[in-house]
Amino acid sequence: MSAGYELLGARGLAVDLNGTRILHDITLAIEPGERVAIVGPNGAGKTTLMRALSGALPAAAGEVILCSEPITNLTRETIAHSIAVVGAGISLPFATRVDDLVALGRIPHGRGPSGASAHDRERAAAAIERVGAAHLVHRDVRTLSAGERQLVLIALGLAQETPILALDEPTAHLDLRHRMEIADLLTSLAGDETIMKTKRTIVAIFHELDLVREHFTRVLLVANGTIIGDGTPASVLTPALISAAWGISPERAARF
Amino acid sequence: MRTRRLAIGGTLLLVIVAVTAIGIGAVALTPGEVIAAIAQQFGISVGSPVSASTSSIVIELRAPRILAAIVVGAALAVAGGAFQSLLRNPLADPYVLGTSSGAALGAALAFLVPISGAAWELGGVQLAAFVGALLSVALVWRIAGIGSGEERIASVLLVGYAVASLLAAALSLVMLTSGANLRAIFGFLLGGLDGASWPRLAAAAIPAVAASLALALRGRPLAAFLLGDEAATHLGVNVQRERKITIALASLATGAAVALAGLVGFVGLVVPHLVRLMVGPDPRAVLPLSAIGGALLLLIADTLARTIGVPVGVITALIGAPFLLWLLQRARAGYAL
């Protein structure tokens, strides 16, 4: 990548929801291939940050930069070619087979009125294979377990074939083993080369600090609507910062 | 591809049923006679010459009604399928935004106006029903704040229900005071294609077909709505704009269908579900196949209706309701409702 290329970043970003300031003074820059964990207490603004970085929420001040462009200059379609967002969960109104669901991730690549093309079906199948869910292709998504469902949602994001994969709490409601498997999978996905000839960038909201230390290259610690720590897990997840973010005593914080 | 095979098979079946249905009536005609009469209309002679009376029965009396059933069935099924996808609600039907009550009230008021036979023939009631349908949607649109960015799907459905209830109450009042017109109003509520004629068909078919076609061509953004508004945004869809376009087109299709046929129920609810059982939930497959399925269902129902002499709305309810229950019972593996 040429010098000065900025994959994803924010400068002086502030975000309001229903007239209340949720985020303020957010400045960051994410490089291709980074594995970024967004951590912080409930209500700190983690999801809001992810929504703002993916252009789903407007900035009240400052700006979001995607692929070296202010995100406000980009069309929704262009954004969808750069960043895929895996939501915290999904409720489907109709019975939907896993392969049909994952094929919806090809929507930004589609042209014209006809449904998923043979190529789209192929890319969707590859994404399902990549997350190790090939045995689930013909299942109704609504009948899957929480762990299986999360794999399928990640495949849906992968099918979009974007340089950035953002995930909102991909380990929510999962047991210990499934949380570890998801963390392993994300690390492995970050090693893949994407269509932009760079390593895939992972940005994920995570709660398990042990997994964050093990699997992520960088931590954004969000508390009270702004980033209070940004750096390697070792430099950010210190007793002092954990204590400040979650409002627990330094002695207890030292246990995490 | 499965969708394409079903589309081709369905269209062929529709043509066969249509030709057969034109032959059914007080004067029975063979499919050969029907085809010859239609071909003659286009200046092609097929087999023996067609008598003037046969030609008149086929072209003037039966063809408009058959085509009306096809257009109305297709429009209702496409509008229903589109509303179900957009609102993410399997219970949504074409009338979900109050169209039915608005149309019925418009038609009922038109029956009460002492207008001359000419205005009647030109479709005064149909026009009033069309305007009523669109006004009710406009009311829901305004109250629910569609396109403002603040609306919630649940509130759109609730506002639609409230507006429909209000208009239904007004309709009841009109019916109580309607005296001799009560039977005509009741007939509109039950739905029927008895009044189909070439001018009325043309007037309703143009908006109905145009809106249904436009909806079927917009399946790609509509597919993203299956995942919810936020996910649709992340898939590159302008949610606000697509919602406005879809509601406007589906309402136009519904309004035109209701103007032509009154309140025909169940077609718009059941047909898209039947199609989903075969091809999955993607509107890019569901909407075109629903058009064919809706046309087939209403054509068969209307042929039954005119053979045994009951309103077509009664037949669609009699077929549709048990059929929906049956679907719920025996949903196929992977595509359970």
pLDDT in tens, B105-158: 988 888 887 665 555 556 788 888 899 999 999 999 888 887 676 666 678 888
Q: B334 falls in which pLDDT band (50, 70, 90)?
A: very low
- Which pLDDT belongs to residue B333? 43
Q: Please choose, from the candidates A162, A157, A168, the residue with its C-alpha nearest in 3D space to the C-alpha of residue A130.
A: A157
Q: What is the ipTM of this complex?
A: 0.92
Rounded percentage of chain B residues whose pLDDT exceeds 70: 92
Least trusted range by pLDDT, from A215-219, B147-151, B154-158, B187-191: B147-151
Q: pLDDT band at residue B47, thresholds of 50, 70 and 90?
A: confident
pLDDT of the residue at B120: 59
Write the pLDDT tens digit of every residue in A78-98.
999 999 999 888 889 898 999
Alpha carbon of A34: minimum distance to chain B alpha carbons (Å): 21
Dist CA A186 CA A202 (whole Å): 7
pLDDT, averaged across chain A: 92
B295-310: average pLDDT: 94
Across A18-33, b (16+ Cβ under 10 Å) vs e yields: eeeebbbebebebbbb
Of A59-68, A216-225, B3-12, B182-191, give the lowest mean pLDDT range. B182-191
Task: Kindly list the residues of chain B whose beta carbon comes within 8 Å of any beta carbon in chain A.
Answer: 3, 84-85, 88-90, 216-221, 223-224, 226-228, 230-231, 233-238, 276, 280-282, 284-285, 331, 333-337
Query: Taking CB atoms and an 8 Å cutoff, what residues of chain B touch A87?
Result: 227-228, 230-231, 234
Cα within 13 Å of Cα(A189), Cβ side: 33
CB-based burial of residue A66 (10 Å sphere; 0-12 exposed, 13-18 middle, 19+ buried)?
A: buried
Going along chain B from its start, the domains and CATH numbers come out as: 64-333 (1.10.3470.10)
Under 8 Å between Cβ of A194 and A200: yes
User: Is the Cβ pair B226, A87 closer than 8 Å?
Assistant: no
Residues of A in contact with B218 (CB under 8 A): 113
Radius of gyration of chain B (CA): 20
Give the sign of the dihedral formed by CA A202, CA A206, CA A211, CA A216: positive
pLDDT at A9 over 70: yes
Residues 50-69 of A with CB under 8 A from B: 51, 54-56
Residue B330 has pLDDT above 80, yes or no: no
The reported pLDDT for the residue numbered A146 is: 92
Q: How confident is the model at residue A196 (pLDDT cuts 50, 70, 90)?
A: low
Is pLDDT of B337 > 50?
no
Higher-pLDDT residue of A167, B336:
A167
Q: Where does the pLDDT of residue B279 fall: very low under 50, low under 70, confident under 90, or very high at 90 and above? A: very high
Buried b (16+ CB within 10 A) or exposed e, B209-246: bebbbbbbebbbbbbbbbbbbebbbbbbbebeebbebb
Arithmetic mean of pLDDT, A207-235? 96
Q: Which of B237, B280, B333 sits opposite A100 (nearest CB)?
A: B280
* Residues A7-21, mean pLDDT to the nearest whole number: 95
The residue among B78, B230, B235, B328 with the most chain A CBs within 10 A of its CB, best to mutate, is: B235
DSSP label at A145? Answer: -
Task: Say yes or no to pLDDT of A102 above 80.
Answer: yes
Q: Which pLDDT score, from 0 to 100, does residue B121 have? A: 55
Q: With beta carbons less than 8 A apart as the criterion, state whether B111 and B282 touch.
A: no
